[in-house]
Structures are given as C-alpha cells and as structure tokens.
Amino acid sequence: MSLEACAEILRRGDPDRFLAAMSAPVAARARLLPLYAFNVEVARAPWVTEEPLIAEMRLQWWLDVLDEIAEGRPVRSHEVATELAGVLDAEAARALVPLVEARRWDAYREPFADAAAFEAHLAAGSGALMRASARVLGAKDGTAALSDLGFAMGLAGWFRAVQ
C-alpha cells in the first residue's frame, strides 16, 4: 500500500518523474518511487507554509528519517519514510542530506549570493537525487556524468518553475 501512496505522491507532485519511473521495469520502479516521492515531500516542505521555522521543522523531520536509515534504526511510520528505508543503504541515506539541506534556501526565498551559490544549490538538489537514483538501481559510484545530468535536470526544473 505504501508503494502505491508513493506513486500517487509522485504522480501529483512531479508528473515527469512519475512517467519516467512508471516506464522503468517493475523492480526498478519499486526502488525509484519511494526515492522520488521523498524528493517531492522534501521539495514541497518550504512551500506549504509562509513560516520558515515551520519549513525548517518539516525538513528536520526528513533529516531525522535519513539519520534513522543511516544508523539502521527503526524508521518512523510514514508512507514514504517506510518505503524509503527499504531502498536506501546507510551511504545513500547520508548522500541525500545535501538535498534536504538545499531546500532550506527555498524556505527563506532569498536571492542566491552569486552564480556559484545557484550552481551549488542545483548540484545538491537534483545532482544528489540523480546519484541516489543510480545507486538504488545498483550503480556502485556516482559519476561526473550523473552529476552533470542531475544539474541539467535541476536547471530545466528551475526554468519551468520561474516562467
């Protein structure tokens, strides 16, 4: 049931990734849906409230989930967190921390200090997600090509969001 909930979260929140995940083989889909639903939950945390402190609390909740997974502890009951724990190993959980941290910027809605800060934001968000996607599908290391692809996807998403 939780995998179906992940699919629905993804379908509503990120239709492009939903279609990509649904076109994957069933075994890969079962690994991608929780990861991408996690990304939706984290990405929307800063936008469901006008209060940065509330957004920070939501993001901290997800950081705590990643800590639980990384430390091999039981994960709190949540339709995405439970499924995510089944697909991430400790290293992959730790590698997603920058993705959550990048969303803190969204909570405050301030301009980037410079182009380097913007590029770092995209690398931490979309780049980390792309590397994690490859990892949950069996890749042993994150390559520069995956980081570049994640960056490009993040930039395309940014342009769609600000149009």
Q: pLDDT, tens digit, for every residue of 10-41?
A: 999 999 999 999 999 999 999 999 999 999 99
141-149 mean pLDDT: 80
Least confident range from 60-69, 99-108, 134-143, 150-159: namely 134-143
The mean pLDDT value for 122-142 works out to 89
Return the residue matching tokens 């994960």.
75
The domain tally of the chain equals: 1
What sign for the dihedral angle of Cα 38, 41, 43, 45? negative
Interval 71-130: pLDDT, tens: 999 999 999 999 999 999 999 999 999 999 999 988 998 899 999 999 999 999 999 999
Q: Which residue has the higher pLDDT, 31 or 163?
A: 31
What count of residues does the chain have?
A: 163
The CA radius of gyration of the chain, in Å to the nearest whole number, is 15
Contacts for 82 with CB less than 8 Å, ≥ 6 apart: 2, 75
| pLDDT confidence bin for 1, thresholds 50/70/90 | low
**39-53, 104-118, 129-143: which has the minimum mean pLDDT?**
129-143
Which domain covers residue 109, as residue numbers? 2-162
Asked whether residue 152 carries a pLDDT value surpassing 70, the answer given is: yes
Give pTM, 2 decimals: 0.94
Q: For residue 145, what pLDDT is reported?
A: 84
Looking at residue 24, the DSSP 8-state letter turns out to be S
Q: Is the pLDDT of residue 141 over 80?
A: no
The answer to whether 119 and 151 are in contact (CB under 8 A) is yes
Does the pLDDT at position 142 exceed 70? no
